[in-house]
Amino acid sequence: MKYIAFLVGVLLVPSLALAHHPGGNHILVSPAAMDYQAGKEMLLEVRLSAPEAITSFRIHLRYDTALLEVREIRTNTDTFPFWWSQKAEDGLIELEASIPSPGFSGEDLIATVVVSTKQAGNKMLEVDEASSLLLSAQDENILGPVDSLEQRDENAADLAGGTGFGILLGILLLGGLAVGVWVFWRARRK
């Protein structure tokens, strides 16, 4: 039995490592786009995915003032206790906060933006990457590519099999496991 566990570990652990989508630090807005009618209230999540520890961030989000009106910004003070700015003016939302060292790493909600729709549309918030930053403990901007949650899911789906690589990897893993079980079974019969 310990040989089977060893074989499963040897075959499964590398595949899990390959399935991890390597990436940098991301600012995620959800939903990125959605059809809506005038007069509706919506909650838009701004999330941070940071594999590398950060101690401060400044995030600028742009929106169309003809389509959306920001009613409220609800910040996550549990994870980010020190908020320096949380305002919305003239189509720009500014979020600035920090956390003591060693900082924050992982994925968490930064803020929920409550908007009301002025007219029908589908455009939401867009991250202004040029004026946004994520600072490490060494005050280095470590902002990586900016995605929506939907884009991240599409990237993961592509990695898992959109190009056929995931299917091939799965077949190879199952074949390797079958050969391992057969070898183990043959060794036990002798």
In a domain? residue 150: no
Range of the domain at 185: 2-21+157-189
47 shares a domain with 116: yes
Residue 180 pLDDT level (bands cut at 50, 70, 90): confident
Q: Report the number of distinct structural domains present in the chain.
A: 2
Contact 87, 93 (CB under 8 A): yes
Contact 96, 143 (CB under 8 A): no
166 shares a domain with 119: no
In terms of phi and psi (left: phi > 0; alpha: psi -120 to 50; beta: otherwise), the region of 118 is alpha
68 shares a domain with 8: no
CA dihedral 34→132→93→112, nearest 10 degrees, is 60
Name the β-bridge partners of 92.
Answer: 62, 89
Residue range 33-71, pLDDT digits in tens? 899 999 999 999 999 998 889 999 999 999 999 999 999
Q: Number of H helices and number of E strands within the chain?
A: 3, 12
- Global pTM value: 0.63
91 shares a domain with 7: no
CATH of the domain at 108: 2.60.40.680
In one-letter notation, the amino acid at residue 133 is L
